[in-house]
Amino acid sequence: MIYLSESKLKILESLAKYKFLTTKQMLRLGIVKYRTNLVPLLKDLRERHRPLIAKISFAVHPKYGRLEDVYYLTKWGVKFLVENLDYEKENIRYPIGTSSLFFRDYFHRLFTIDFHIEYEKWANENDYEVLFFHTYFDKVGANRSKTKKRLEALTKIELNDGKDYIIADAISMFQTPKRKYLFSLEVYNGKDTKRIIKQLKKHIIALSEGKPSLQYNFKRGSKVIVLFELENTMKAVIERLNQDEDFEEFENYFLFKTVGKLKETFFNQWFNIKFKEITFF
Q: What is the per-residue DSSP string for 17-35?
A: HHS-B-HHHHHHTTS-S-H
**Average pLDDT of the residues in 238-246:** 95
Domain boundary among 96, 129, 154: 96
Provide the pLDDT for residue 158.
Answer: 92
Give dist(CA 269, CA 281) in Å, integer: 12
pLDDT band for 149, please (50, 70, 90 cuts).
low
**Average pLDDT of the residues in 68-93:** 96
* Residues 74, 116 within the same domain: no
The answer to whether residue 211 sits within a structural domain is: yes
Provide the pLDDT for residue 167.
Answer: 96
Provide the pLDDT for residue 129.
Answer: 98
* Residues 120, 252 within the same domain: yes
Residue 4 has pLDDT above 60, yes or no: yes
Provide the residue range defining the domain that includes 28.
6-96
* Residues 83, 116 within the same domain: no
* Residues 238, 258 within the same domain: yes
Give dist(CA 236, CA 243) in Å, integer: 11
Provide the pLDDT for residue 236.
Answer: 97
**Average pLDDT of the residues in 27-35:** 96
Provide the pLDDT for residue 233.
Answer: 98
How confident is the model over 130-145, as pLDDT tens digits? Answer: 999 999 998 875 545 4
One-letter identity of residue 72: Y
* Residues 246, 179 within the same domain: yes
pLDDT band for 60, please (50, 70, 90 cuts).
confident
* Residues 86, 113 within the same domain: no
Domain boundary among 50, 71, 96: 96
* Residues 160, 268 within the same domain: yes
Query: Are 10 and 31 contacting, i.e. CB atoms less than 8 angstroms apart?
Result: yes
Domain boundary among 96, 119, 142: 96
Query: Are 111 and 227 contacting, i.e. CB atoms less than 8 angstroms apart?
Result: yes
Residue 31 has pLDDT above 90, yes or no: yes
Residues in a beta bridge with 181: 174
